[in-house]
Amino acid sequence: MKEAREFRVVFALAATVVIWASAFAGIRAGLEGYSPGHLALLRFLVASGLLAIYAVVTRMSLPAWRDLPAVLVGGFLGFTVYHVGLSFGEVTVESGPASVLIASVPVFTAILAVVFLRERLGTLGWIGTGLSFFGVVLISTGEAGTLALEPGALPILLAAISEAMFFVFQKPYLDKYGSLRFTTYAIWGGTLFMLIFAPGLAAAVVEAPLAATVSVVYLGIFPTVIAYLALAYAFARMPASNAVSFLYLVPALAFLIAWLWLGEVPTLLSIVGGVVVLAGVIIVNSRRP
């Protein structure tokens, strides 16, 4: 029984990493036909619609009234700020610096988990976290040739901090409602805040290339619904600092997908960085929670 549960957790984390690694290409393709605000809103309208159908079919109960503020705060932090900031940031920021900024999410999450959830990261945990972040720096340096940042990177940094806050904030509500229900509530809440981008969306859908629209729909189904639910499932069953360490694998796998799919051959420094990232994740998860 224990082995089966651990396998399901690992499978959920692996699915999250693979799907989120593919999201970079999806966002890039979607921005060919949509503005950052329209892309984020359309993506979450698709996700919210699918989850609404599922909620009706399964007769999912609604959250308690007293928890509605928490749902809205979680949706704002984990979905509105993160995805809008990432969409706007990727318009101007190169992939290397952007990867480093997003890879800071596990670092912020580990620190916040220690402060607010009283998790003990320990020496090995801090060493593994620092090593993984260093590996992401190597990958980004190898691909971009520089780590110089521009003002457009600020939305991505804000997105990373906001996502880390959400990962820690959601922990007690995952215990109360379960991963599926609370993540669904939070996605609905985040979509409400994104409605400020609604003006002009219908016209954008009509004018956008089909490939861009398909990319946004893909983002709404897989990186949003499936990946977030899988990650929430893992978060509910292991310490947040452990689960989030797996997200360091996303940049490394993103380069691998680009290599196999788009023919973009990574540099030797990027390959070394990928190995370092993997070593850091192994160290973090080799410690006793």
Looking at residue 289, what is its pLDDT?
A: 47
Looking at residue 71, what is its pLDDT?
A: 93
Q: With 0-12 CB in 10 A as exposed, 13-18 as middle and 19+ as buried, what is 42? A: buried
Number of structural domains (the chain) is: 1
Structural domain containing residue 224: 2-286
Q: Are 103 and 136 in contact, with CB atoms under 8 Å apart?
A: yes
Name the strand (E) or helix (H) holding 217.
Answer: helix 210-219
> What residues in the chain have per-residue pLDDT under 50?
289
Looking at residue 269, what is its pLDDT?
A: 75
**Helix pair 2-30, 210-219: axis angle to 10 deg:** 150
pTM metric for this prediction: 0.76
**Locus of tokens 């620190």:** 111
φ, ψ for residue 88 (rounded to 5)?
Answer: -70, -40
Looking at residue 80, what is its pLDDT?
A: 96
Tokens describing residue 53: 């159908």
Q: What is the pLDDT of residues 66-109, one digit of tens each?
A: 999 999 999 999 999 999 998 888 777 655 556 666 776 777 77
Looking at residue 194, what is its pLDDT?
A: 97
Helix (H, G, I), strand (E, B) or coil at 136: helix
| 170-174 contact pairs (CB < 8 A, 24+) | 170/74, 170/78, 170/232, 170/235, 171/117, 171/235, 171/240, 173/67, 173/70, 173/74, 174/232, 174/235, 174/236
